[in-house]
Amino acid sequence: MVEFSSERLARLTGMLKRRGVILPAFEIHGGAAGLYDFGPVGGRLRNRVNQTWINHWQSLGNVVEISCPTVTPYPVLEASGHVGEFSDFLTECKKCGEASRADHLIEAIHPNAESLSKDELGALISENNPPCPSCGESEWGQIEAQNLMFNTKIGAGSSGRQGFLRPETAQGMFTSFTSIYRHFRERLPFGALQTGKGYRNEISPRQGMIRLREFNMAELEYFIDPEVNTVHDFSLWNQEVTLIADKEGEIVMTLGDAVEKGIIRHPTVGYFMGWTMDFLLNVGINPAHLRFRQHESNEMAHYAQDCWDAEIRGSYGWVECVGIAHRGCYDLTAHEEATGQRLRAWRTFSEPKVVEINGWTTDGAKAGPAFRALAGQVKSAVEELPPETKFPFTLSIGESAVEILPEHVKRVQRSENVNGEWFVPHVVEPAFGIDRIIWHLLDHSYSEVEKSGEDYTLLGLPELIAPVDVTVLPLYEKDGMDELALIIHRELCGKKNVFSVYDASGSIGRRYARADEIGVPWCITVDHDSLSDNSVTLRSRDTGEQTRVLINALPF
Amino acid sequence: MVEFSSERLARLTGMLKRRGVILPAFEIHGGAAGLYDFGPVGGRLRNRVNQTWINHWQSLGNVVEISCPTVTPYPVLEASGHVGEFSDFLTECKKCGEASRADHLIEAIHPNAESLSKDELGALISENNPPCPSCGESEWGQIEAQNLMFNTKIGAGSSGRQGFLRPETAQGMFTSFTSIYRHFRERLPFGALQTGKGYRNEISPRQGMIRLREFNMAELEYFIDPEVNTVHDFSLWNQEVTLIADKEGEIVMTLGDAVEKGIIRHPTVGYFMGWTMDFLLNVGINPAHLRFRQHESNEMAHYAQDCWDAEIRGSYGWVECVGIAHRGCYDLTAHEEATGQRLRAWRTFSEPKVVEINGWTTDGAKAGPAFRALAGQVKSAVEELPPETKFPFTLSIGESAVEILPEHVKRVQRSENVNGEWFVPHVVEPAFGIDRIIWHLLDHSYSEVEKSGEDYTLLGLPELIAPVDVTVLPLYEKDGMDELALIIHRELCGKKNVFSVYDASGSIGRRYARADEIGVPWCITVDHDSLSDNSVTLRSRDTGEQTRVLINALPF
């Protein structure tokens, strides 16, 4: 079992930077905290993990991919609640001006500082006077809630409108609901996923890839009818899983049992936990360092019905890498209320119902000219009024008050056959932090061994996501070995889904070591014999085994 | 041959929106000009075109993918020249306040309004008084240069720093040069590519997908040694190509001939034009609507040595979709100068050279303590001084003046064997606008025909990038046909690189038409016979041919 330590972390981080996997961005210009590059090796790793994630969820059969802008107008994120809620508490050092997160300052003093209120944080800071992480002084300004979205302005001059960089990809799936619903020919359940950048203007980023200001997200919004009892096949997962349940604490059981016992409160949440586990293990997460933790009721968003984090253990301890939340009807309802548009699905009753209608509606001939653009909203509101309502009556429509006179309305009293009804679908959302997952799969696959008395490191990446599939090595750069190696290399590069690297510098042993260090599963060596017999040596990273293979029988 | 017209454009745009290919973003919240969604069909189209582009260029064998942040600190874009140069001229309507691009207002009056200066634009506008496109009035304010980058602030409180959303992906390849150079074991030529979002805060976006505020870019920066005569194989392209050359005007010839005649001024530019053409034709651009146009000298960036645009003809006329530019050493030099870091490659001479050194260097024992952090820069500067320099001497180091005393320096006079030298690589950059290419491949593959007396539309997308590979249709949703169809559908969805849609609504003819409309190459129909003989009907979009195939012999 790997022993995580800060020394190992420093060596791993150094290797990742030196080999061009992950490195601080814009470093020649002094860098910028919380911004990272995926370099010449990491770029393809990011791409493959991302694409593997998309393929994995699309294989459900009723999930589509969409792609929305990252620049988002103010009203969208006001409706979603991000303008009001997406914030941390900040305080500035009076000496050096550096901003710090208030809860970070008292982490050593309080076990759960993140959950404290502004006043509690203020009291603890003035009592304990923690030092500024930047200058060491202890003089703190006011604590203020700081919204964590990156601000920008869409458009130029005075006609420019306020906007933000999206804090999550999820809102795109909600604002596009109508299009997705139509695509699936109005049949639930279905899902839409999106991968791409998310942004969070962290007050003081730290912990490398764990807390970024710009990150790679991957989210699925899965829309379901809350009245349908979904049956999922949990026989796919016979293994026992570590669960930290809200009430029961740590338990080890199968996902199927946890759903049956009601510990996981919705079967689709449990099913997606299994689907999530499959993905994480496929890309190289070690199951010994994986657990699912249920949010406590006071930690969960008020609208959420259940939420489980997949937590992965690595050099930074246990880190939340995926959240699987049952969000109820919160999001679609929020956008409905803000826009007046219908974001609903139609449910056909198994048999028509007779409904007694007893109330009011508008008289179109009078109400139309009187209320113009608001006429539709006035009609809906009037139809909600109880039969005993007296007119004139003042309605609140959005932010305006509308006076309804007796002449605008008609009494309605009848029974009606109704075939079905509109309802707001519920949403189950698995949300993945791709950077955190990439960090941990690197952390788990990195091993330090000794070879012929020297330190030797190896990345045991699964072939599915290894950024380089194969390296081609001429034994020497002469006698045509380099030409033949280049021909093989270029042919491999031309194949879909194969990425080859040509390496001619240094001894073969050094080149094998270089390939092992970044987790290349296979090496091909072209030697003198290759020139006459068209065979090469194929070496496996994992077994070290070398076999002689004909060039046209290479397994790529 | 397709006749492009505004009526056809309106029908195509309507279809793309209705079917969830491309649609205005955030429409339920009133939308935002210049921001588009790729919907449930378009999302996968975007992904496939993007991935096809990456695979295409990686197949060169010496190209890697990287991925950098979109949020970019001010100094990076100051060094690249974007802070100073990346702007359009704006004027505001005094009546309604709407901002317009000054050159757009006088497009009808001047054939090349984009090239005019601020004063020329001002004169033409006050002479002609064009109407405001928003309110129709003709009263214009001052003309001002408006930088087109989206502004933001990185970090919170007073410690936040100014930043921008990147206007292109290219800068990431330059700031990462050292890492890429190391990856390729310090051997030119090599390239690094990146795909992702680019941003341009357009004053008044128009023309749908052609002029966006947030767009999908794909750029390759290919680093070469300017002293190496590169030989490329132009026999790959025997076809004649339409070229609009700077001096010669429109000519039709092969790329090889154009390079040989010096019309294309660098062979790598010509080679990448061929590689670009292959990509465009592979994803479905009609070669009859493709041409390459050379920038005129006054249109080209001052540092560029040659630049060709791939222009594609469609519903908006000829549109620039790719730029292939020889950028010389401009970019790396600019970042070198701004940062003082070396962004160079080493060139080994074929035989060592004897170099006479006659000048000055610093005396480390004295200069070190005297200049501290600046000592390295002082040393480099002193070594550049001519032998006749008299000390004391005042050097400018960055923004500070440094006094060099006689005791700080030593005279140097000797001959040295030199094996090679550092030089700034040149860059050839193919830069692709993915959204514009997707627009045009849709435009070119869209055809309107008549079928059984009714209007019928079809997207003839290449299988390589078709967003849906196959639809599975149960003839009826009964007798087990739907169950069998779902089994086939789910199995197909589980395959890598296959995306299947299940469609059970409406007659088979209607469902075929629905599939043809979004360019699904294959339909599978499950009927009564399928239940007993395990065969299905496989229908081709392009030939309409229907063949009976065993389920386990389906070609997916």
Residues A216 and A69 in one domain: yes
Is residue A33 pLDDT above 70, yes or no? yes
Show residues of chain A in contact with B175, CB under 8 Å: 25-29
Residues A160 and A58 in one domain: yes
Cβ distance of A71 and B343 shorter than 8 Å: no
Q: What is the CATH number of the domain that holds A503?
A: 3.40.50.800
Evaluated on CA atoms B510, B513, B515, B520, the torsion sign reads positive
Cis ω for the linkage preceding A189 (within 30 of 0): yes
Three-state secondary structure readout of A270-296: HHHHHHHHHHHHHCCCCHHHEEEEECC
A129 in Cβ contact with A109 (< 8 Å): no
Tell me which residue range forms the domain holding A260.
6-86+148-329
Cβ distance of A98 and B159 shorter than 8 Å: yes
Would you give per-residue pLDDT tens digits along chain B (556 residues)? 678 999 999 999 999 999 999 999 999 999 999 999 999 999 999 999 999 999 999 999 999 999 999 999 999 999 999 998 888 888 988 888 888 889 889 888 888 788 788 888 889 998 888 999 889 888 998 888 888 899 999 987 677 899 999 999 999 999 999 999 999 999 999 999 999 999 999 888 888 899 999 999 999 999 999 999 989 999 999 999 999 999 999 999 999 999 999 999 999 999 999 999 999 999 999 999 999 999 987 777 777 789 999 999 999 999 999 999 999 999 999 999 999 999 999 999 999 999 888 899 999 888 888 888 888 888 888 988 999 999 999 888 877 788 899 999 999 999 989 999 999 999 999 999 999 999 999 999 999 998 888 889 999 999 999 999 999 999 999 999 999 999 999 999 999 889 999 999 899 999 999 999 999 999 999 999 999 999 999 999 999 999 999 999 999 9
Cα angle for residues A97, A103, A106 (degrees, 5° grid): 90
Cβ distance of A496 and B155 shorter than 8 Å: no
* DSSP codes of every residue in A304-329: -SEEEEEEEEETTEEEEEEEEEEEET
Residues B412 and B475 in one domain: no
The region that residue B505 occupies, defined by phi over 0 for left and psi between -120 and 50 for alpha, beta otherwise, is beta
Residue B97: the pLDDT is 84
Question: Over the stretch A120-159, which tens digit does the pLDDT of each residue have?
Answer: 888 999 888 899 988 988 899 888 888 899 999 998 767 7
Q: Strand locations in B315-440, DSSP E?
A: 317-328, 345-362, 393-397, 400-404, 409-423, 426-433
B21, B65, B150: best to mutate for the A interface, most A CBs within 10 A: B65
Total domain count for chain B? Answer: 2
B29, B150, B501: best to mutate for the A interface, most A CBs within 10 A: B29
Q: What is the CATH number of the domain that holds A128?
A: 3.30.40.230
Q: What is the CATH number of the domain that holds A68?
A: 3.30.930.10
Residue A118: the pLDDT is 86
Cβ distance of A493 and B158 shorter than 8 Å: no
Mean pLDDT of chain A: 93
Residue B207: the pLDDT is 85
Residue B320: the pLDDT is 96
Cβ distance of A70 and B214 shorter than 8 Å: yes
Average pLDDT of the residues in A95-120: 86
Evaluated on CA atoms A394, A395, A401, A406, the torsion sign reads negative
Per 3-state DSSP, what percentage of chain A is helix, strand, and coil (rounded to 5)? 35, 35, 35
A40 in Cβ contact with B64 (< 8 Å): yes
- A452 part of a folded domain: no
**Residue B322 to residues A532, B87, B284: CA-CA distances in angstroms?**
45, 20, 15
Cβ distance of B29 and A180 shorter than 8 Å: no
Q: Strand locations in A200-256, DSSP E?
A: 214-224, 241-245, 249-253
A408 in Cβ contact with A363 (< 8 Å): yes
Residue in B with minimal Cα distance to A435: B67
Relative to beta strand A317-328, strand B393-397 is unpaired
Residue in A with minimal Cα distance to B25: A68
CA-to-CA distance for B175 and A37, rounded, in angstroms? Answer: 10
Residues A521 and A541 in one domain: yes
Cβ distance of A39 and B66 shorter than 8 Å: yes
Note the helical H segments in B248-311: 255-260, 267-282
B76 in Cβ contact with B149 (< 8 Å): no
Residue in B with minimal Cα distance to A204: B155
Quote the pTM value: 0.90
Last residue of a domain, one of A263, A298, A329: A329
Cβ distance of A152 and B165 shorter than 8 Å: yes
- B394 part of a folded domain: yes
A278 vs B121: which has the higher pLDDT: A278
A364 vs A235: which has the higher pLDDT: A235
Torsion of CA B133, B138, B139, B140, to 10 degrees: 50
Residues A321 and A409 in one domain: no
CA-to-CA distance for A136 and A542, rounded, in angstroms? Answer: 48
Cβ distance of B41 and A183 shorter than 8 Å: yes
Residue B160: the pLDDT is 86
Q: Distance from B198 to chain A by nearest Cα, in Å?
A: 10
**ipTM rounded to 2 decimals:** 0.90
- B506 part of a folded domain: yes
B323 vs A104: which has the higher pLDDT: B323
Of the candidates B499, B520, B508, the residue with the CA atom closest to the CA atom of residue B473: B508
Residues A203 and A235 in one domain: yes
Cβ distance of B43 and A65 shorter than 8 Å: yes
Last residue of a domain, one of B361, B391, B422: B422
The count of other CB atoms within 10 Å of the CB of residue B173 is 26
A86, A176, A497, A499: best to mutate for the B interface, most B CBs within 10 A: A176
Cβ distance of B197 and A197 shorter than 8 Å: yes
Residues A198 and A61 in one domain: yes
Q: Distance from A379 to chain B by nearest Cα, in Å?
A: 20
Q: Distance from B161 to chain A by nearest Cα, in Å?
A: 9
A64, A438, A501: best to mutate for the B interface, most B CBs within 10 A: A64
Residues A298 and A227 in one domain: yes
Q: Which two tokens stand for residue B139?
A: 């009263």
Show residues of chain A in contact with B90, CB under 8 Å: 156-157
- B185 part of a folded domain: no
- A424 part of a folded domain: no
Residues B479 and B549 in one domain: yes
Of the candidates A270, A339, A345, A259, the residue with the CA atom closest to the CA atom of residue A307: A270
Q: Which two tokens stand for residue B158?
A: 């007073």
Show residues of chain A in contact with B278, CB under 8 Å: none
Question: Over the stretch A137-148, which tens digit does the pLDDT of each residue have?
Answer: 889 988 888 889
- A236 part of a folded domain: yes
Question: Over the stretch A301-330, which tens digit does the pLDDT of each residue have?
Answer: 777 789 999 999 999 999 999 999 999 999
Average pLDDT of the residues in A269-289: 98
Residues A198 and A311 in one domain: yes
Question: Over the stretch A150-193, which tens digit does the pLDDT of each residue have?
Answer: 999 998 767 789 999 999 999 999 999 999 999 999 999 999 99
- B340 part of a folded domain: no
Torsion of CA B353, B354, B359, B364, to 10 degrees: 80
Torsion of CA A82, A88, A93, A98, to 10 degrees: -60
B22, B36, B59, B67: best to mutate for the A interface, most A CBs within 10 A: B67
Residues A27 and A93 in one domain: no
CA-to-CA distance for B328 and B226, rounded, in angstroms? Answer: 8
**Residue B542 to residues A207, B463, B520: CA-CA distances in angstroms?**
54, 11, 10
Cβ distance of B182 and A41 shorter than 8 Å: no
Residue in A with minimal Cα distance to B336: A28
- B10 part of a folded domain: no
Residues A503 and A408 in one domain: no
Cα angle for residues A191, B30, A335 (degrees, 5° grid): 45
Residue A11: the pLDDT is 96
**Residue B33 to residues A533, B27, B204: CA-CA distances in angstroms?**
63, 10, 8
Show residues of chain A in contact with B179, CB under 8 Å: 20, 23, 37, 39-40
